[in-house]
Structure 1
């Protein structure tokens, strides 16, 4: 594991230079004031103070989100906003430290077998917010839920990425959940068995899908689990005091039962969902928000402010074409669409937040290989804007499909930046590919994700943030049958590469695996599985007096345990 940690240290040192926000951020604590996510301290549209500080004490942090929390069930949640709140209130075996490396959390110690296949964790003396102890059985219960076909977790695949013994067969319904390679030797001893060694296993253990759940409490809560403060237990630095599904405000207070509560300075965190960036900035200027995200013209307006921070994030934004929709199964049509819009104009004239053009499926500054170089340094670029080639591809598609005109609807979440980008792409496609009409349908992010997961869409503007520092966090999405393979693409050669890189011969040969993942990306891009648009940058305002917020580009975007507010 020493070599793994060294490689990860190289990666995260790079991220520290270029990043500042979660799933797009800096891996060091801020020395500024406030950060933009969501804050219940201000009422949307008025900037009026609602007393959030007093609700959670005198130094609660007020943070803006631009999308709602979708789920606070750790085995069901799939989005970065939900993951952030889950990490506030729940703690797994590991957390990610300020430098971006895995650090023991609920685990007090770990013993690793020489072959890398068995991890034995000793748990801390910690308790849930109802006073019951956190035990090894809580992890066993949670992880079995994660792979249970009856639960049908969208993130069950991450147990396969971790190569937990029998996870693949359990998810496929070939074995029972009790055969998963995780056992409670006693209340404080958790034993995890793997099918093959995983060099980034400890980093994965900080991911929310592997967080514990108390079975007795879960059973008592029933179908309402995770929907209110009364149906959620906390073993983390904070606990919920106000929340309901699709809420525009989420209030947390310091958890006195947390094992390390003495090191928690904030009295709480108040999140507020404000989708309009102008409204959010007014709340920030009025003193009702400590952390806020900027977009478009705001970036130029405030970039010289000492409270302004620009960060390269890990999120990849792209368009997913549903290949079950007539016409979109045609490669020439997909190529035409993918090359027809000006990505440079999107990042420089619309977003202006430090985002960069994405001519790839695996973002930059994600992971370093056995050669010590970033994945993008030694790989090519794909699907770069070329409007003349796009027209040629469109002519070929018209001939092959026997059509002169086509019309598709692209679904888009209702945030300001997503709508601005979608409207620009719509105009570009219609101007550069005469005969193609693009209609836009906007909706809350949760609904957009549900539509894409169910295949009820034609084109979808979507995003993916990295769960762990390896190209597989992106490339695994496009294997046949993956729940995140929204376009229903299938390629047997691609599937074989990914499977071998996870569990086969490639998994045991780091250099060969790295080269194979480059080949896999090329296969996917040459087939226009997705149409990349940009890699997200974040422009945020953080009030002076706020320090110690940790921003990470991989996994949990923002961690507030060590944050302070004067």
Structure 2
């Protein structure tokens, strides 16, 4: 096991080192002609008087195409928020240029011989600062205890509460389980109360009222069961919440004093330090949180405190994200950039982004479609393989029972959808950026096994199950057959499936192709595409308010469970509520149970490969689409801009201009 996990870490380092030469190198060479291009009307009035023009400072100029939904560590779930949080906050550790963890708030630390106790000694005198750069107070161990425990507060419904289980924190899994039960009950109860007959339309098979009655009955049964479980164990929901408060107090994270943070584990977690670079485990100042109030905290740049290399100076929705160097950061003398200036143009198409780069307005631009042919051979074009997976999230089991959910509950229909879509069209025609089609969920090249001659996950899947490229691969004839069987058994001739996505240009093209393929190969199927703003889509996904959703996942730590645990029944990211007890049991054992024993490393790896087969070939609980890659135009004068494989994509602390 130790060899396996050591190899995983080495592979992560290899990925990151390759990134230094090939990754998203941001370009910033301010000149007299290249001033800030953001035109917000009152932009100049909003800037601080001591802020000189961007062309006189070392400013990295970027373009964002979506807004930041939240600036709260325990509530954020998306890479846009994590990108900001990962640079304005300092965690215990920070990812280095080579992708390996470096001490940030930590001065020194020690690990017990059995690998179960971590004692972190914090740097003394490190300051929290306000948006104006004024010191507010020292960063202390209690700031970590406070922020981590907020993940377990059911009122927050934090989707990363599962980190207590992932990190194997002593008593954390028990607290997380109860938190999840309470949150699941309250979400379903709210859905039941909000259910309306107006949400349904008459079809040939059933009237709107009949569909509403069926959906209401199913939700009532679910809510009744969930409530009975809580009342049977704790007496009431309120008493369950009281018990959760007691359990959270027993979770083994503690502030031994102002500068000593202690974490105790149930099982060794060799990648724990990597996880501590993740923004969901960053600190927050409890006193400031209480002063600002829960309703305002993190909703604006001024209602937040900063202890990282940068301060979020301007947060203008759909206009600008502006970060400035934090002069009070403990390592400020080694932070080269003065600012990061990001224009925000929602859903800007690829032509717009490329033209802004060519005009010198921004310092990087992705290439897609025709622009790959035009600019892909330039010397400043870089191809960057990634470990992220784009996929169709499907929701057969969470929410009111609509005709679409009824169809998707039949595994034959789910398999038919995966088999109906020619995914190579998306990677080879729409994107053309090095992304590759996949019918697997753990990416190629991500984790390898020393017990299988260094083969990676996909290679072992091929050896064991023929699953090197995944399962239920493209086969339109078989898709039609399976679909017809499912529809006939359900007594249905047609169904409409809603596909939810954001407004990005490529997402729309991808969705159009998916719609065409499904309608062509699945008789009676109509796909309606719903373009939803980023923040609203995240909210709807968390509530289970969708049928199919275009989304993606990148790793949080260097091991295959970072992908597979999404689909355990307790996972807050299991928005479709897939439930397979055998699947859950293997993951639990692989993370904190018997399979963590070093003598069972080979068996552990093979068991994880096996449950991916169950997830996909047997149950088709998700529709994988492709493994991501990026092709970018990047300014070669910007150095040390490494695309990180987990956490924030880029750590601006290290960036320098040549």
* TM-score in terms of structure 2 length: 0.80
Structure 2 equivalent of residue 524 of structure 1 = 615
Q: Does 1:416 align with 2:410?
A: no
Structure 2 equivalent of residue 538 of structure 1 = 630
Structure 1 residue 350 displacement after superposition: 0.6
Structure 2 equivalent of residue 553 of structure 1 = 645
Partners of 2:320 and 2:387 lie apart in 1 by 26
552-561 vs 203-212, which deviates more? 552-561
Partners of 1:340 and 1:29 lie apart in 2 by 34
Structure 1 residue 553 displacement after superposition: 2.2
> Pairwise CA RMSD of aligned residues?
2.6
Task: Answer yes or no: is the 8 Å Cα contact 2:13–2:100 preserved in 1.
Answer: no
Match of residue 448, structure 1, among 517, 533, 537:
537
Q: Does 1:232 align with 2:227?
A: no
Larger radius of gyration: 2
Partners of 1:194 and 1:249 lie apart in 2 by 42
Match of residue 357, structure 1, among 437, 440, 465:
437
Q: Does 1:198 align with 2:305?
A: no
Task: Answer yes or no: is the 8 Å Cα contact 2:586–2:608 preserved in 1.
Answer: yes
Structure 1 equivalent of residue 92 of structure 2 = 93
Structure 1 residue 28 displacement after superposition: 7.5
Structure 2 equivalent of residue 512 of structure 1 = 603
Structure 1 equivalent of residue 524 of structure 2 = 435
Structure 1 equivalent of residue 62 of structure 2 = 63
Structure 1 residue 366 displacement after superposition: 2.1
Structure 1 equivalent of residue 231 of structure 2 = none
Task: Answer yes or no: is the 8 Å Cα contact 2:168–2:267 preserved in 1.
Answer: yes
Task: Answer yes or no: is the 8 Å Cα contact 2:22–2:382 preserved in 1.
Answer: no
SS of equivalent to 1:318: strand
Describe how 1:227-376 pairs up with structure 2 within 5 A: 227-243=299-315, 246-274=317-345, 275-276=347-348, 277-324=350-397, 325-371=405-451, 372-376=454-458
Q: How many residues align?
A: 555
Distance 1:327 1:209, change over 3 A: same
Task: Answer yes or no: is the 8 Å Cα contact 1:360–1:383 preserved in 2.
Answer: no
Distance 1:27 1:451, change over 3 A: farther
Q: Does 1:184 align with 2:189?
A: no
1:218-251 deviation per Cα after TM superposition (whole angstroms, max 9, x unaligned): 111212111222111111111111015x443110
Task: Answer yes or no: is the 8 Å Cα contact 2:27–2:60 preserved in 1.
Answer: no
Task: Answer yes or no: is the 8 Å Cα contact 1:49–1:288 preserved in 2.
Answer: no
Q: Is there any run of 5+ residues in structure 1 with no aligned partner, and where?
A: 21-25
Structure 2 equivalent of residue 495 of structure 1 = 584
Partners of 1:473 and 1:564 lie apart in 2 by 32
Task: Answer yes or no: is the 8 Å Cα contact 2:23–2:642 preserved in 1.
Answer: yes
Structure 1 residue 445 displacement after superposition: 2.1
Partners of 1:6 and 1:309 lie apart in 2 by 29
Partners of 1:366 and 1:40 lie apart in 2 by 40
Describe how 1:453-472 pairs up with structure 2 within 5 A: 453-472=542-561
171-180 vs 491-500, which deviates more? 171-180
Structure 2 equivalent of residue 23 of structure 1 = none
Task: Answer yes or no: is the 8 Å Cα contact 1:310–1:539 preserved in 2.
Answer: yes
Describe how 1:138-153 pairs up with structure 2 within 5 A: 138-153=143-158
Task: Answer yes or no: is the 8 Å Cα contact 1:40–1:251 preserved in 2.
Answer: no
Distance 1:120 1:16, change over 3 A: closer
Structure 1 residue 265 displacement after superposition: 0.7
Structure with the largest fraction of helix? 2
Q: Is there any run of 5+ residues in structure 2 with no aligned partner, and where?
A: 180-243, 398-404, 462-466
Distance 1:185 1:29, change over 3 A: farther
Partners of 1:291 and 1:406 lie apart in 2 by 43
Partners of 1:480 and 1:170 lie apart in 2 by 15
Structure 1 residue 191 displacement after superposition: 0.8
Task: Answer yes or no: is the 8 Å Cα contact 2:171–2:247 preserved in 1.
Answer: no
